[in-house]
Amino acid sequence: MSETSTLIGYEGRTIPREALVLVPTPPATETHRPIPHHEVIQALVETLGFRHIGIVHDEYAVSPDGMKLFGALDLETEIEGCRFRSVCATATTRACG
């Protein structure tokens, strides 16, 4: 974990966005189809891009069982001088800011 990390990961580890693809997704059932963490984050990145909001820095932590994802995103808009930090957590695909 970096000294400047906003997110304290499980067991002190954070992972980059690219590593989310390695987190196993539980099997689907008749009534529930889990969405892989990396797909949720990719959709978030695309949606932010549509609104001209870029990600300056991001980091993630996943629970030991792989069922919960926590992330910290440093975002920037194309509006001159506008920069803000947003934190998102996906377990029930909820975003906090």
User: Do residues 92 and 68 lie in contact, with contact meaning Cβ atoms separated by under 8 Å?
Assistant: no
Backbone angles phi, psi at 25, to 5 degrees: -100, 130
- How far, in Å, CA of 15 to CA of 9, rounded? 8
- Whether 9 has a pLDDT exceeding 60, the answer reads no
User: Do residues 58 and 71 lie in contact, with contact meaning Cβ atoms separated by under 8 Å?
Assistant: yes
Which has more pLDDT, 1 or 11? 11
| Mean pLDDT on 10-23 | 84
52 DSSP 8-state letter: T
Q: Give the global pTM.
A: 0.71
| Mean pLDDT on 31-50 | 92
- How far, in Å, CA of 91 to CA of 58, rounded? 18
CA neighbor of 60 nearest in space, from 20, 11, 3, 4: 20
